[in-house]
Amino acid sequence: MTVTGRVVWITGLSGAGKTTVAKLVHASLKERGVATLHLDGDAMREALADPNYGFDRESRLRGARFYGRLARMCAEQGLVVVVSTISLFHEIHDWNREQLPGYLEVLIEASDSVRRSRDPKGLYKGLDQGSTASMGGVDLALELPISPHLRIANDGGPQDIPRVAGLILDSIDRTNGTAALSLQGTI
């Protein structure tokens, strides 16, 4: 398998399974001998350790722009960059499509009840207790991708993660480094 530098942008709401799936995609690519990097929104936030980087609209936009520029720089050096982030804004998705090499946009969806049951950061529990955290679809306008290359339902349990990751890996294999992807659809 020959894969040139590209960006696989995995997005969805909190609890949809973005990070879990991205970790498996990243590990699978490494096992195949592909030079890869995983950039996760929460890990990036922690690494930046910027006290001014909040959860408001402007902070989230600034962060998404940073992830995009960093992903582009790494992809231009031949890495397959797997990004897992909520990235709520159409302007980010548009910029990514224009600027990121071999861009593959993946929207992972899960029902509200499944996301709430997973609740990896306790955000839904906090909402139920009356707090808000600048959360997309709650107190921030929700702008999920309009036409993702892949739209994947992920309402299953941990046993379904390899299937979801496999769909992404299959798309990478089918597009194998092409700069513009024509694949679109719902799985």
Residue 181 lies in a domain: no
Question: Which pLDDT score, from 0 to 100, does residue 80 have?
Answer: 96
Contact by Cβ (8 Å): 27, 97: no
185 in a structural domain: no
Reply yes or no on whether 117 is catalytic.
Answer: no
Look at residue 104 and give its three-state secondary structure: strand
CATH of the domain at 69: 3.40.50.300
Integer angstrom CA distances of residue 61 from 85, 88, 102, 140: 12, 8, 22, 12
As for how many domains the chain has, the answer is 1
More confident residue, 145 or 185: 145
Domain membership of residue 187 (yes or no) is: no
| 57 belongs to a structural domain | yes
Higher pLDDT, 6 or 158: 6
Phi, psi of 95 (to 5 degrees): -60, -45
93 falls within a domain: yes
Mind giving me the DSSP string for 141-177? -----SS-SEEEE--S-GGGHHHHHHHHHHHHHHHTT
Specify the higher pLDDT residue, 24 or 4: 24
pLDDT above 90 as % of the chain: 50
Q: Which of 28, 87, 111, 131 is catalytic?
A: 87
Task: Tell which wins on pLDDT, 70 or 133.
Answer: 70
What is the pLDDT, as a whole number, of residue 121? 64
Domain that holds residue 34: 6-175
Choose the weakest-confidence range: 33-37, 101-105, 110-114, 165-169. Answer: 110-114
**Element (H or E) spanning 115, and its range?**
helix 112-118
For residues 55 and 133, is the Cβ–Cβ distance under 8 A?
yes
- Identify whether 25 is part of a domain: yes
Residue 17 lies in a domain: yes
Q: What is the pLDDT of residue 14?
A: 81
Q: Look at residue 53 and tell me whether its pLDDT is greater than 80.
A: no
Q: Within a domain: residue 137?
A: yes
